[in-house]
Amino acid sequence: MKITSPITRINLSAPKIFELAGNLQNFPQYMSDQVKDITVTADSCSFTVENIAAITLKILEKTPFFQIRFAAENDKNIPLFLTLNMNAVSENVTDVTADMDIEIPVFLKPLVQKPLERFVETLSQKIKTEVEKTLL
């Protein structure tokens, strides 16, 4: 199943968003209220999504100023990838989307689809809120 957030327009350059969003130390700021028990190390960010799963994100690959792809390990052993996409609209305006690719058994889809949709939507919105604070 693929879940994509709505496009979020951010008033900041793609290189700056890439720098901030690609630093896992900043990641707790981007999490929704449904995320608990956040632990960050130099190469991973672990957290629990309430009533869904415990997840550890690790950066899988970075395409400078365009994309950051995370692989996620979780306590349910379900393959999950999270991708942040950045599309420079102008020098200081960037469109951002968050995509989640997850292999969920059909019987679980009705239980987790809405919370996961909220997760990716909140992630892109919180990235906007937090990175635009760097302008102040």
pLDDT tens sequence across 17-46: 999 999 999 989 998 888 889 999 888 999
pLDDT reported for residue 112:
85
pLDDT reported for residue 57:
93
pLDDT tens sequence across 73-92: 888 888 999 999 999 999 99
pLDDT reported for residue 25:
92
Could you tell me which residues come within 8 angstroms of residue 4 by beta carbon, excluding any fewer than 6 positions away?
97, 98, 99, 100, 120
pLDDT reported for residue 116:
87
Domain 2-135 matching CATH 3.90.1150.10: the answer reads no
Per-chain mean pLDDT for the chain: 92
Instruction: Sketch the domain layout of the chain as residue ranges.
Output: 2-135
pLDDT band for position 53 (50/70/90)?
A: confident
Give the global pTM.
Answer: 0.90
With 0-12 / 13-18 / 19 or more C-beta atoms within 10 angstroms meaning exposed / middle / buried, residue 45 is buried
Q: Judge whether residue 5 has pLDDT over 80.
A: yes
Q: What angle do CA 37, 47, 49 make, to 5 degrees?
A: 95
pLDDT tens sequence across 99-129: 999 998 899 889 889 988 988 999 999 999 9
